[in-house]
Amino acid sequence: MDITRMPIGFFDSGVGGLSVLKEAIKILPNEDFIYYGDSKNAPYGTKKVDEVKKLTFDAVKVLLGYNVKAIVVACNTATSAAIEDLRNTYKDMPIIGIEPALKPAVELSGEGKIVIMATNMTLAEKKFNKLMSKYKDKCDIVSLPCTGLVEYIEKGIVEGEKLKEFLVEKLSILDKDKIASVVLGCTHYPFIKKELYSILGDEVVIIDGSFGTANQLKRKLIKSNSINKKNKKGKITILNSLKDDEIIKISKKLLCI
């Protein structure tokens, strides 16, 4: 089979990775994408590392069944827990992960505080701590675990009073006037940017890693000569472990299709 015509696989613990897929579609509009969300087992951020690894490998096996040419692990928690093991297991498959976009935040922060919103597991993993140690002497960086936030977004709740109250409570431990930037360290979180801006103000820079991950995918495809050269818009297939029509509707709404 012509590798250029093969689809690209995307995986997340639920609907969050759609924020990364959105960026990938913008820069790779001719590609076919297969998105697999494991909403049945969401959230991953409160689980043990070994369980997340198993779930991640199971999801990758699902995508491999569709003869994909590359896989994007569009989940910060799964990336932290399993990306190295995945690459060691599937050496011939381009596997792209995602990590908190701390570098651009450091470059933009100036004198202010950088807040990293993420799941408990992402913040606890050595991959993240290695990233933190690289920049902690350059800026004032604060980690903010956001247990419970993924559950709102999995239900399609990305704005409204209940969500705003939840976010205000989470952010209440911080001095909002000293925040220069917020790094969204979970792919679910870009969907609630609007509410974050309403709480923190438009002067705060909110950054996520979806753009960088999508561009890394493009670089990998160019390097392997597997870019789809057809002149028509690609097909998007959404799968979910819940096997429920409602989660597919939520996914399509978040993806704007």
- pLDDT above 80: residue 36: yes
Establish whether 12 is an annotated binding residue: yes
Establish whether 120 is an annotated binding residue: no
- pLDDT above 80: residue 253: yes
In this prediction, residue 122 has a pLDDT band, given cuts at 50, 70 and 90, of very high
Average pLDDT score over the chain: 95
In this prediction, residue 28 has a pLDDT band, given cuts at 50, 70 and 90, of very high
- pLDDT above 90: residue 65: yes
| pLDDT tens digits for range 225-249 | 999 998 899 999 999 999 999 999 9
Catalytic residues, by residue number, are 75, 186
The pLDDT score that the predictor gives to residue 108 is: 82
* Residue 242, number of CB atoms within 10 A of its CB: 17
Cα–Cα separations (whole angstroms), residue 37 to 29, 89, 204:
21, 21, 31
The pLDDT score that the predictor gives to residue 16 is: 98
- pLDDT above 90: residue 138: no
Q: Which among 208, 163, 245 is positioned nearest to 18, based on CA atoms?
A: 208
How far is residue 199's CA from residue 14's CA, in Å, rounded to a whole number?
A: 26
Establish whether 76 is an annotated binding residue: yes
Question: What mean pLDDT comes out for the span 68-83?
Answer: 97
Establish whether 188 is an annotated binding residue: yes
The pLDDT score that the predictor gives to residue 200 is: 96
Cα angle: 206, vertex 212, 213; to 5 degrees: 115
Question: What mean pLDDT comes out for the span 139-145?
Answer: 94
Establish whether 77 is an annotated binding residue: yes
Question: In the chain, what are the domains?
Answer: 3-98+210-255 (3.40.50.1860), 102-208 (3.40.50.1860)
Establish whether 45 is an annotated binding residue: yes
| pLDDT tens digits for range 164-205 | 999 999 999 999 889 999 999 999 999 999 999 999 999 999
- pLDDT above 80: residue 110: no
The pLDDT score that the predictor gives to residue 150 is: 97
The pLDDT score that the predictor gives to residue 137 is: 85
The pLDDT score that the predictor gives to residue 64 is: 98
State the burial class of residue 48 (Cβ atoms within 10 Å of its Cβ: 0-12, 13-18, 19+): exposed
Residue 255 corresponds to which amino acid?
A: L
